[in-house]
Amino acid sequence: MAQSAGDVIVVRGNGGLDGEVCIGGAKNSVLKLIAACLLAEGQHVLANVPDISDVSVMCELLEAMGVSITRTDHCLVIDVPAEINTEAPYHLVERMRASIVVLGPLLARFGAARVALPGGDDFGPRPIDMHLRALESLGATFRTSHGDISGTAEALTGAEIVLEYPSVGATENVLMAAVRAKGRTRIVNPAREPEIGDLVSFLNQMGAKARWAGNGLAIEGVEQLSPAGQHASSPRSTAGGIGTSARTEVGGTPADGDGYRVISDRIETATYLAAVGMCGGSVFLRHAVGDHMTMLIRKLTEMGMHIVADAEGIRATATQRLTSADVATLPYPGLATDYKPFLVAMLTTASGVGIVTENIFTGRFRYIDELRRMGADIRTEGHHAVVRGAERLSGAPVRAHDIRAGAALVVAGLAAEGETEVAGATHIDRGYDDLTGKLAGLGAIITRR
Ligand code: UD1
Protein backbone atom coordinates (compact mmCIF):
# COMPACT_ATOMS: atom_id res chain seq x y z
CA MET A 1 0.00 0.00 0.00
CA ALA A 2 1.14 3.50 -0.82
CA GLN A 3 0.73 4.70 2.77
CA SER A 4 2.02 1.79 4.79
CA ALA A 5 4.83 3.90 6.33
CA GLY A 6 4.23 5.16 9.88
CA ASP A 7 1.12 5.80 11.88
CA VAL A 8 1.50 9.60 12.07
CA ILE A 9 0.79 12.22 9.45
CA VAL A 10 2.63 15.47 10.04
CA VAL A 11 1.16 18.53 8.41
CA ARG A 12 2.18 22.16 8.52
CA GLY A 13 -0.15 25.06 7.87
CA ASN A 14 0.65 26.74 4.62
CA GLY A 15 -0.86 28.92 1.93
CA GLY A 16 -3.27 28.06 -0.83
CA LEU A 17 -3.46 24.76 -2.70
CA ASP A 18 -3.05 24.63 -6.42
CA GLY A 19 -3.02 22.04 -9.22
CA GLU A 20 -4.90 18.86 -10.03
CA VAL A 21 -5.78 15.76 -8.03
CA CYS A 22 -7.22 12.49 -9.35
CA ILE A 23 -10.20 11.17 -7.42
CA GLY A 24 -10.19 7.38 -7.09
CA GLY A 25 -12.90 4.74 -7.01
CA ALA A 26 -15.50 4.91 -4.24
CA LYS A 27 -14.70 2.89 -1.12
CA ASN A 28 -18.38 2.55 -0.24
CA SER A 29 -19.10 1.15 -3.68
CA VAL A 30 -16.18 -1.16 -4.37
CA LEU A 31 -16.61 -3.07 -1.09
CA LYS A 32 -20.16 -4.00 -2.09
CA LEU A 33 -19.19 -4.83 -5.67
CA ILE A 34 -16.57 -7.26 -4.36
CA ALA A 35 -19.27 -8.91 -2.20
CA ALA A 36 -21.62 -9.04 -5.20
CA CYS A 37 -19.07 -11.16 -7.10
CA LEU A 38 -20.05 -14.03 -4.76
CA LEU A 39 -23.32 -14.21 -6.69
CA ALA A 40 -21.75 -15.77 -9.79
CA GLU A 41 -19.11 -18.40 -10.43
CA GLY A 42 -16.26 -17.31 -12.72
CA GLN A 43 -13.83 -14.45 -13.22
CA HIS A 44 -14.98 -10.89 -12.43
CA VAL A 45 -12.82 -7.86 -13.23
CA LEU A 46 -13.05 -4.54 -11.38
CA ALA A 47 -11.25 -1.38 -12.50
CA ASN A 48 -10.66 1.97 -10.75
CA VAL A 49 -10.23 0.12 -7.44
CA PRO A 50 -8.72 2.39 -4.77
CA ASP A 51 -5.56 1.19 -3.02
CA ILE A 52 -7.01 1.30 0.49
CA SER A 53 -6.88 -1.13 3.38
CA ASP A 54 -10.66 -1.75 3.53
CA VAL A 55 -10.38 -3.27 0.04
CA SER A 56 -7.61 -5.53 1.38
CA VAL A 57 -9.87 -6.66 4.23
CA MET A 58 -12.78 -7.40 1.87
CA CYS A 59 -10.39 -9.36 -0.37
CA GLU A 60 -9.08 -11.30 2.66
CA LEU A 61 -12.66 -12.11 3.60
CA LEU A 62 -13.45 -13.56 0.17
CA GLU A 63 -10.12 -15.37 0.10
CA ALA A 64 -10.97 -16.96 3.46
CA MET A 65 -14.08 -18.29 1.69
CA GLY A 66 -11.99 -19.86 -1.08
CA VAL A 67 -12.13 -17.10 -3.70
CA SER A 68 -8.89 -16.30 -5.61
CA ILE A 69 -8.10 -12.62 -6.05
CA THR A 70 -5.33 -10.94 -8.01
CA ARG A 71 -4.74 -7.29 -7.26
CA THR A 72 -2.76 -5.23 -9.75
CA ASP A 73 -2.59 -1.51 -10.44
CA HIS A 74 -6.08 -0.35 -9.32
CA CYS A 75 -7.64 -3.50 -10.73
CA LEU A 76 -9.04 -6.67 -9.12
CA VAL A 77 -9.49 -10.01 -10.84
CA ILE A 78 -11.83 -12.05 -8.66
CA ASP A 79 -12.19 -15.77 -9.40
CA VAL A 80 -15.22 -17.23 -7.67
CA PRO A 81 -15.34 -21.05 -7.58
CA ALA A 82 -18.45 -23.23 -7.74
CA GLU A 83 -18.36 -24.05 -4.03
CA ILE A 84 -17.14 -21.80 -1.25
CA ASN A 85 -16.94 -21.70 2.53
CA THR A 86 -19.90 -19.53 3.55
CA GLU A 87 -18.45 -18.23 6.83
CA ALA A 88 -17.23 -14.71 7.55
CA PRO A 89 -15.00 -14.89 10.64
CA TYR A 90 -14.97 -12.35 13.49
CA HIS A 91 -11.34 -11.26 13.08
CA LEU A 92 -12.23 -9.85 9.62
CA VAL A 93 -15.78 -8.59 10.30
CA GLU A 94 -14.45 -6.80 13.38
CA ARG A 95 -11.96 -4.90 11.22
CA MET A 96 -14.65 -3.75 8.81
CA ARG A 97 -18.38 -3.60 9.49
CA ALA A 98 -19.18 -3.48 5.78
CA SER A 99 -18.35 -7.22 5.68
CA ILE A 100 -21.99 -7.79 6.68
CA VAL A 101 -22.97 -7.26 3.03
CA VAL A 102 -21.79 -10.78 2.18
CA LEU A 103 -24.92 -12.04 3.93
CA GLY A 104 -27.33 -11.34 1.04
CA PRO A 105 -25.18 -12.82 -1.75
CA LEU A 106 -24.29 -15.93 0.29
CA LEU A 107 -27.92 -16.66 1.13
CA ALA A 108 -29.00 -16.05 -2.45
CA ARG A 109 -26.44 -18.35 -4.04
CA PHE A 110 -25.71 -20.98 -1.39
CA GLY A 111 -28.77 -20.83 0.88
CA ALA A 112 -26.52 -20.50 3.92
CA ALA A 113 -24.29 -17.93 5.59
CA ARG A 114 -22.57 -17.58 8.94
CA VAL A 115 -21.29 -14.08 9.62
CA ALA A 116 -19.81 -12.78 12.85
CA LEU A 117 -22.00 -10.03 14.29
CA PRO A 118 -20.36 -6.65 13.85
CA GLY A 119 -20.06 -4.64 17.07
CA GLY A 120 -20.56 -0.90 17.55
CA ASP A 121 -17.88 1.57 16.58
CA ASP A 122 -16.88 5.19 16.95
CA PHE A 123 -20.17 6.28 15.40
CA GLY A 124 -22.09 4.53 18.22
CA PRO A 125 -24.26 1.40 17.92
CA ARG A 126 -24.54 -0.07 14.41
CA PRO A 127 -27.54 -2.43 14.42
CA ILE A 128 -28.38 -4.76 11.51
CA ASP A 129 -32.03 -5.41 12.40
CA MET A 130 -33.28 -3.93 9.12
CA HIS A 131 -30.93 -6.14 7.09
CA LEU A 132 -32.26 -9.23 8.83
CA ARG A 133 -35.96 -8.29 8.65
CA ALA A 134 -35.67 -7.53 4.94
CA LEU A 135 -33.92 -10.85 4.23
CA GLU A 136 -36.52 -12.67 6.33
CA SER A 137 -39.21 -11.19 4.08
CA LEU A 138 -37.56 -13.06 1.21
CA GLY A 139 -37.69 -16.32 3.17
CA ALA A 140 -34.38 -16.43 5.09
CA THR A 141 -34.28 -17.47 8.73
CA PHE A 142 -31.64 -16.40 11.24
CA ARG A 143 -30.23 -17.71 14.49
CA THR A 144 -27.66 -15.99 16.68
CA SER A 145 -25.17 -17.99 18.70
CA HIS A 146 -21.63 -17.48 20.01
CA GLY A 147 -21.46 -14.01 18.46
CA ASP A 148 -22.32 -15.23 14.96
CA ILE A 149 -25.47 -14.82 12.93
CA SER A 150 -26.35 -17.93 10.94
CA GLY A 151 -28.79 -17.62 8.09
CA THR A 152 -30.44 -20.28 5.97
CA ALA A 153 -32.81 -20.14 3.06
CA GLU A 154 -34.22 -23.14 1.22
CA ALA A 155 -35.21 -20.83 -1.60
CA LEU A 156 -35.63 -17.06 -1.59
CA THR A 157 -38.90 -15.72 -2.94
CA GLY A 158 -39.53 -12.15 -4.12
CA ALA A 159 -41.60 -9.93 -1.84
CA GLU A 160 -42.56 -6.33 -1.19
CA ILE A 161 -40.10 -4.94 1.37
CA VAL A 162 -40.70 -1.62 3.04
CA LEU A 163 -37.61 -0.15 4.69
CA GLU A 164 -38.71 2.13 7.50
CA TYR A 165 -35.44 4.01 7.02
CA PRO A 166 -33.38 4.07 3.80
CA SER A 167 -30.43 2.15 5.24
CA VAL A 168 -27.54 1.82 2.79
CA GLY A 169 -26.38 -1.57 4.05
CA ALA A 170 -29.88 -3.06 4.34
CA THR A 171 -30.73 -1.92 0.81
CA GLU A 172 -27.53 -3.51 -0.52
CA ASN A 173 -28.01 -6.80 1.32
CA VAL A 174 -31.61 -7.28 0.23
CA LEU A 175 -30.91 -6.11 -3.33
CA MET A 176 -28.12 -8.68 -3.69
CA ALA A 177 -30.41 -11.39 -2.34
CA ALA A 178 -33.41 -10.39 -4.44
CA VAL A 179 -31.59 -10.56 -7.78
CA ARG A 180 -31.53 -14.36 -7.44
CA ALA A 181 -34.84 -14.81 -5.61
CA LYS A 182 -37.77 -16.41 -7.36
CA GLY A 183 -40.16 -13.80 -8.74
CA ARG A 184 -40.49 -10.08 -8.21
CA THR A 185 -39.20 -7.98 -5.31
CA ARG A 186 -40.03 -4.37 -4.70
CA ILE A 187 -37.94 -2.41 -2.20
CA VAL A 188 -39.92 0.58 -1.00
CA ASN A 189 -37.90 3.48 0.49
CA PRO A 190 -34.46 2.11 -0.46
CA ALA A 191 -31.27 4.10 0.05
CA ARG A 192 -30.55 6.13 -3.11
CA GLU A 193 -26.87 6.86 -2.72
CA PRO A 194 -24.82 6.85 -5.96
CA GLU A 195 -23.07 3.74 -4.60
CA ILE A 196 -26.43 1.90 -4.64
CA GLY A 197 -26.80 3.00 -8.27
CA ASP A 198 -23.35 1.56 -8.97
CA LEU A 199 -24.34 -1.74 -7.38
CA VAL A 200 -27.51 -1.85 -9.50
CA SER A 201 -25.43 -1.25 -12.65
CA PHE A 202 -22.92 -3.92 -11.66
CA LEU A 203 -25.61 -6.50 -10.88
CA ASN A 204 -27.36 -5.74 -14.17
CA GLN A 205 -24.08 -6.29 -15.98
CA MET A 206 -24.03 -9.72 -14.32
CA GLY A 207 -27.44 -10.40 -15.84
CA ALA A 208 -29.71 -9.20 -13.02
CA LYS A 209 -32.93 -7.34 -13.71
CA ALA A 210 -33.08 -4.43 -11.29
CA ARG A 211 -34.34 -0.93 -11.96
CA TRP A 212 -35.49 2.20 -10.17
CA ALA A 213 -39.27 2.43 -10.23
CA GLY A 214 -41.20 5.23 -8.57
CA ASN A 215 -40.09 5.49 -4.96
CA GLY A 216 -38.41 2.13 -4.95
CA LEU A 217 -36.34 -0.55 -6.61
CA ALA A 218 -38.01 -3.24 -8.71
CA ILE A 219 -36.13 -6.51 -9.08
CA GLU A 220 -37.11 -9.49 -11.21
CA GLY A 221 -35.22 -12.50 -9.89
CA VAL A 222 -33.11 -14.56 -12.32
CA GLU A 223 -31.87 -18.12 -11.88
CA GLN A 224 -28.28 -17.50 -12.78
CA LEU A 225 -25.83 -14.61 -13.00
CA SER A 226 -22.54 -14.40 -14.86
CA PRO A 227 -19.27 -12.60 -14.03
CA ALA A 228 -19.06 -8.83 -14.46
CA GLY A 229 -16.43 -6.67 -16.08
CA GLN A 230 -15.44 -9.09 -18.81
CA HIS A 231 -16.95 -7.79 -22.01
CA ALA A 232 -15.77 -4.62 -23.70
CA SER A 233 -18.91 -4.50 -25.77
CA SER A 234 -21.37 -4.71 -22.86
CA PRO A 235 -23.80 -1.83 -23.05
CA ARG A 236 -23.42 0.62 -20.18
CA SER A 237 -26.28 0.18 -17.78
CA THR A 238 -28.61 3.12 -17.40
CA ALA A 239 -29.71 2.01 -13.95
CA GLY A 240 -27.40 4.41 -12.07
CA GLY A 241 -28.50 6.00 -8.79
CA ILE A 242 -30.80 8.93 -8.52
CA GLY A 243 -28.90 11.93 -9.80
CA THR A 244 -26.40 10.00 -11.89
CA SER A 245 -26.01 10.82 -15.55
CA ALA A 246 -24.47 8.93 -18.45
CA ARG A 247 -20.86 10.09 -18.51
CA THR A 248 -17.50 8.42 -18.41
CA GLU A 249 -17.04 8.77 -14.63
CA VAL A 250 -20.23 6.91 -13.80
CA GLY A 251 -19.72 3.19 -13.12
CA GLY A 252 -19.72 0.68 -15.92
CA THR A 253 -17.46 -0.93 -18.47
CA PRO A 254 -14.65 1.38 -19.62
CA ALA A 255 -14.04 1.72 -23.32
CA ASP A 256 -10.96 -0.49 -23.22
CA GLY A 257 -12.98 -3.32 -21.70
CA ASP A 258 -10.61 -4.23 -18.88
CA GLY A 259 -13.02 -4.29 -16.01
CA TYR A 260 -16.15 -2.79 -14.52
CA ARG A 261 -15.18 0.76 -13.55
CA VAL A 262 -16.10 1.68 -9.98
CA ILE A 263 -17.69 5.15 -9.64
CA SER A 264 -15.65 8.01 -8.18
CA ASP A 265 -15.46 8.54 -4.45
CA ARG A 266 -17.61 11.50 -3.47
CA ILE A 267 -16.28 11.50 0.11
CA GLU A 268 -12.67 11.64 -1.09
CA THR A 269 -13.83 14.49 -3.34
CA ALA A 270 -15.34 16.27 -0.32
CA THR A 271 -12.00 15.96 1.47
CA TYR A 272 -10.14 17.92 -1.22
CA LEU A 273 -12.98 20.42 -1.54
CA ALA A 274 -12.68 21.09 2.20
CA ALA A 275 -8.90 21.45 1.90
CA VAL A 276 -9.30 24.10 -0.80
CA GLY A 277 -12.05 25.82 1.20
CA MET A 278 -9.88 26.05 4.31
CA CYS A 279 -6.53 26.85 2.67
CA GLY A 280 -7.71 28.86 -0.34
CA GLY A 281 -6.44 28.29 -3.87
CA SER A 282 -7.79 26.60 -6.97
CA VAL A 283 -7.73 22.85 -7.62
CA PHE A 284 -9.15 20.61 -10.35
CA LEU A 285 -10.53 17.31 -9.01
CA ARG A 286 -10.33 15.02 -12.01
CA HIS A 287 -13.03 12.31 -12.23
CA ALA A 288 -15.10 13.89 -9.42
CA VAL A 289 -18.79 13.68 -10.28
CA GLY A 290 -20.70 16.86 -9.48
CA ASP A 291 -24.07 15.15 -10.00
CA HIS A 292 -23.36 12.86 -7.04
CA MET A 293 -22.84 15.71 -4.60
CA THR A 294 -25.22 18.49 -5.53
CA MET A 295 -26.17 19.36 -1.95
CA LEU A 296 -22.57 19.62 -0.81
CA ILE A 297 -21.67 21.85 -3.75
CA ARG A 298 -24.63 24.09 -2.88
CA LYS A 299 -23.57 24.29 0.75
CA LEU A 300 -19.94 25.09 -0.09
CA THR A 301 -21.09 27.71 -2.58
CA GLU A 302 -23.27 29.23 0.15
CA MET A 303 -20.11 29.36 2.30
CA GLY A 304 -18.26 31.32 -0.38
CA MET A 305 -16.46 28.73 -2.56
CA HIS A 306 -16.65 28.83 -6.33
CA ILE A 307 -17.32 25.33 -7.69
CA VAL A 308 -17.82 24.31 -11.30
CA ALA A 309 -18.54 20.70 -12.29
CA ASP A 310 -18.25 19.32 -15.81
CA ALA A 311 -17.87 15.92 -17.46
CA GLU A 312 -14.15 15.74 -16.58
CA GLY A 313 -14.40 16.66 -12.92
CA ILE A 314 -14.83 19.57 -10.55
CA ARG A 315 -12.89 22.83 -10.28
CA ALA A 316 -12.94 24.32 -6.79
CA THR A 317 -11.69 27.79 -5.97
CA ALA A 318 -11.61 29.73 -2.70
CA THR A 319 -10.30 33.27 -2.64
CA GLN A 320 -11.51 34.52 0.73
CA ARG A 321 -12.32 33.39 4.27
CA LEU A 322 -15.46 31.24 4.20
CA THR A 323 -18.74 32.27 5.79
CA SER A 324 -20.48 29.97 8.27
CA ALA A 325 -23.63 28.05 7.40
CA ASP A 326 -25.91 25.62 9.19
CA VAL A 327 -25.55 21.95 8.28
CA ALA A 328 -27.88 18.97 8.82
CA THR A 329 -27.00 15.44 7.68
CA LEU A 330 -29.68 13.41 5.92
CA PRO A 331 -29.93 10.30 3.74
CA TYR A 332 -29.06 10.89 0.07
CA PRO A 333 -29.68 13.22 -1.69
CA GLY A 334 -29.26 15.17 1.57
CA LEU A 335 -25.87 16.09 2.99
CA ALA A 336 -24.04 12.85 3.78
CA THR A 337 -23.00 12.15 7.36
CA ASP A 338 -19.58 11.27 5.92
CA TYR A 339 -19.15 14.90 4.77
CA LYS A 340 -19.80 16.23 8.25
CA PRO A 341 -16.27 16.10 9.73
CA PHE A 342 -15.07 18.18 6.77
CA LEU A 343 -17.88 20.70 7.14
CA VAL A 344 -17.21 21.00 10.89
CA ALA A 345 -13.50 21.54 10.18
CA MET A 346 -14.38 24.23 7.63
CA LEU A 347 -16.71 25.98 10.08
CA THR A 348 -13.93 26.21 12.70
CA THR A 349 -12.25 28.94 10.64
CA ALA A 350 -15.24 30.43 8.80
CA SER A 351 -16.62 33.80 9.85
CA GLY A 352 -19.69 33.53 12.09
CA VAL A 353 -21.46 30.64 13.80
CA GLY A 354 -22.70 27.41 12.21
CA ILE A 355 -25.07 24.88 13.77
CA VAL A 356 -24.43 21.29 12.77
CA THR A 357 -27.10 18.62 13.27
CA GLU A 358 -26.25 14.93 12.94
CA ASN A 359 -29.31 12.88 12.01
CA ILE A 360 -27.74 9.59 10.90
CA PHE A 361 -25.16 8.44 13.48
CA THR A 362 -25.82 10.40 16.65
CA GLY A 363 -22.53 9.36 18.29
CA ARG A 364 -20.46 10.78 15.48
CA PHE A 365 -18.86 13.76 17.25
CA ARG A 366 -15.80 12.22 18.89
CA TYR A 367 -13.25 14.05 16.73
CA ILE A 368 -14.57 17.36 18.01
CA ASP A 369 -12.41 17.05 21.14
CA GLU A 370 -9.42 16.74 18.81
CA LEU A 371 -10.42 19.87 16.89
CA ARG A 372 -10.77 21.68 20.23
CA ARG A 373 -7.14 20.78 20.94
CA MET A 374 -6.37 22.82 17.82
CA GLY A 375 -8.21 25.85 19.22
CA ALA A 376 -11.63 25.24 17.64
CA ASP A 377 -14.59 26.74 19.46
CA ILE A 378 -17.23 23.98 19.33
CA ARG A 379 -20.02 23.25 21.78
CA THR A 380 -21.99 20.02 21.49
CA GLU A 381 -25.51 19.40 22.76
CA GLY A 382 -26.93 15.95 21.97
CA HIS A 383 -26.73 15.52 18.21
CA HIS A 384 -26.06 19.22 17.61
CA ALA A 385 -22.79 21.11 17.49
CA VAL A 386 -22.40 24.87 17.53
CA VAL A 387 -19.21 25.94 15.79
CA ARG A 388 -17.94 29.49 16.22
CA GLY A 389 -15.32 30.29 13.60
CA ALA A 390 -11.87 31.44 14.76
CA GLU A 391 -9.45 33.40 12.55
CA ARG A 392 -7.01 30.50 12.65
CA LEU A 393 -6.49 27.11 14.31
CA SER A 394 -3.21 26.26 15.97
CA GLY A 395 -1.34 23.06 15.14
CA ALA A 396 -1.34 20.36 17.85
CA PRO A 397 -0.86 16.61 18.30
CA VAL A 398 -4.25 14.95 17.67
CA ARG A 399 -5.59 11.44 17.06
CA ALA A 400 -7.71 9.98 14.27
CA HIS A 401 -10.48 7.65 15.54
CA ASP A 402 -12.12 6.90 12.20
CA ILE A 403 -11.50 7.32 8.50
CA ARG A 404 -13.27 10.57 7.69
CA ALA A 405 -12.69 12.28 11.04
CA GLY A 406 -8.98 11.46 10.67
CA ALA A 407 -8.84 13.00 7.21
CA ALA A 408 -10.71 16.07 8.50
CA LEU A 409 -8.01 16.56 11.15
CA VAL A 410 -5.37 16.47 8.41
CA VAL A 411 -7.34 19.06 6.45
CA ALA A 412 -7.69 21.23 9.57
CA GLY A 413 -3.92 20.92 10.10
CA LEU A 414 -3.31 22.30 6.60
CA ALA A 415 -5.01 25.51 7.63
CA ALA A 416 -3.59 25.73 11.17
CA GLU A 417 -0.66 27.77 12.36
CA GLY A 418 2.42 25.58 12.96
CA GLU A 419 2.62 21.79 12.95
CA THR A 420 -0.15 19.24 13.48
CA GLU A 421 0.60 15.57 14.10
CA VAL A 422 -2.31 13.27 13.35
CA ALA A 423 -1.74 9.90 15.05
CA GLY A 424 -3.79 6.84 14.13
CA ALA A 425 -3.18 7.39 10.41
CA THR A 426 -3.91 3.72 9.71
CA HIS A 427 -7.60 4.60 10.22
CA ILE A 428 -7.21 7.03 7.33
CA ASP A 429 -5.59 4.33 5.18
CA ARG A 430 -8.85 2.36 5.40
CA GLY A 431 -10.45 4.81 2.99
CA TYR A 432 -7.77 6.97 1.37
CA ASP A 433 -5.44 6.09 -1.45
CA ASP A 434 -2.31 8.19 -0.79
CA LEU A 435 -3.88 11.16 0.99
CA THR A 436 -0.45 12.59 1.90
CA GLY A 437 0.97 12.18 -1.63
CA LYS A 438 -2.08 13.75 -3.26
CA LEU A 439 -2.11 16.73 -0.86
CA ALA A 440 1.66 17.18 -1.29
CA GLY A 441 1.02 17.28 -5.06
CA LEU A 442 -1.23 20.31 -4.45
CA GLY A 443 1.50 22.15 -2.53
CA ALA A 444 0.71 21.03 1.03
CA ILE A 445 3.59 20.59 3.47
CA ILE A 446 2.82 17.07 4.63
CA THR A 447 4.75 13.91 5.45
CA ARG A 448 4.18 10.50 6.98
CA ARG A 449 6.32 8.97 9.68
C1 UD1 B 1 -23.03 3.31 4.98
C2 UD1 B 1 -21.63 3.81 4.71
C3 UD1 B 1 -21.23 4.89 5.72
C4 UD1 B 1 -22.26 5.99 5.71
C5 UD1 B 1 -23.66 5.41 5.92
C6 UD1 B 1 -24.77 6.44 5.84
C7 UD1 B 1 -20.45 1.92 3.79
C8 UD1 B 1 -19.37 0.93 3.98
N9 UD1 B 1 -20.69 2.71 4.84
O10 UD1 B 1 -23.05 2.70 6.27
O11 UD1 B 1 -19.95 5.40 5.35
O12 UD1 B 1 -21.96 6.89 6.77
O13 UD1 B 1 -23.93 4.41 4.93
O14 UD1 B 1 -24.70 7.12 4.62
O15 UD1 B 1 -21.05 2.03 2.74
N16 UD1 B 1 -29.63 1.31 11.05
C17 UD1 B 1 -30.46 0.58 11.88
N18 UD1 B 1 -30.67 -0.74 11.59
C19 UD1 B 1 -30.11 -1.35 10.50
C20 UD1 B 1 -29.27 -0.61 9.65
C21 UD1 B 1 -29.05 0.73 9.96
O22 UD1 B 1 -30.98 1.08 12.87
O23 UD1 B 1 -30.36 -2.55 10.29
C24 UD1 B 1 -29.38 2.74 11.33
C25 UD1 B 1 -27.92 3.01 11.67
O26 UD1 B 1 -27.65 2.77 13.04
C27 UD1 B 1 -27.78 4.47 11.32
C28 UD1 B 1 -28.68 4.59 10.09
O29 UD1 B 1 -29.58 3.49 10.15
O30 UD1 B 1 -28.28 5.28 12.34
C31 UD1 B 1 -27.93 4.60 8.77
O32 UD1 B 1 -27.23 3.39 8.59
P33 UD1 B 1 -26.95 2.77 7.15
O34 UD1 B 1 -27.53 3.66 6.09
O35 UD1 B 1 -27.33 1.35 7.16
O36 UD1 B 1 -25.36 2.91 7.06
P37 UD1 B 1 -24.30 1.80 6.71
O38 UD1 B 1 -24.75 0.98 5.56
O39 UD1 B 1 -23.89 1.09 7.97
* pLDDT tens per residue, range 385-420: 999 999 999 999 999 999 999 999 999 999 999 999
Q: Say what the pLDDT of residue 403 is.
A: 94
Sequence-ordered list of residues with C-beta below 8 angstroms from that of 335, at least 6 positions apart, any chain: 295, 296, 299, 327, 328, 329, 343
- Is 281 inside a domain boundary? yes
Among 252, 331, 267, smallest CA distance to 28 is for: 267
**126 CB less than 6 Å from ligand 1?**
yes
From 96, 129, 167, 262, the mutation candidate for ligand 1 (largest count of ligand atoms within 8 A of CB) is 167
The pair phi, psi for residue 28, each rounded to 5°, is -70, -10
- Is 164 inside a domain boundary? yes
Q: Residue 271 sits in a domain of what CATH number?
A: 3.65.10.10
- Could you tell me if 251 and 321 lie in one domain? no
- Is 3 inside a domain boundary? no
Read off the pTM. 0.94
Distance 391 CA to ligand 1 centre (A): 35
Task: Among 261, 283, 307, give the residue marking a domain's end.
Answer: 261
Distance 58 CA to ligand 1 centre (A): 18
**98 CB less than 6 Å from ligand 1?**
yes
How many independent structural domains does the chain possess? 2
- Could you tell me if 75 and 217 lie in one domain? yes
Among 440, 407, 415, 391, smallest CA distance to 12 is for: 415
Question: What residues form DSSP beta bridges with 210?
Answer: 219
What is the span of the domain harbouring residue 212? 27-261
- Could you tell me if 240 and 345 lie in one domain? no
Among 41, 30, 39, 13, smallest CA distance to 259 is for: 30
- Is 18 inside a domain boundary? yes
- Residue 388 CA from chain centroid, whole number: 29
- Could you tell me if 254 and 345 lie in one domain? no
- Is 268 inside a domain boundary? yes
Q: Say what the pLDDT of residue 230 is.
A: 79
For the chain, list residues with pLDDT below 70: 1-5, 119-125, 231-257
Q: Say what the pLDDT of residue 246 is.
A: 33
Closest atom of ligand 1 to 191 CA is: 34
Task: Among 261, 279, 300, give the residue marking a domain's end.
Answer: 261
Distances (CA, A) of 244 to 140, 313, 350: 32, 14, 31
Closest atom of ligand 1 to 28 CA is: 15
Distance 392 CA to ligand 1 centre (A): 34
Q: Say what the pLDDT of residue 234 is.
A: 38
Task: Among 209, 242, 261, give the residue marking a domain's end.
Answer: 261
- Could you tell me if 203 and 299 lie in one domain? no
Q: Say what the pLDDT of residue 239 is.
A: 37
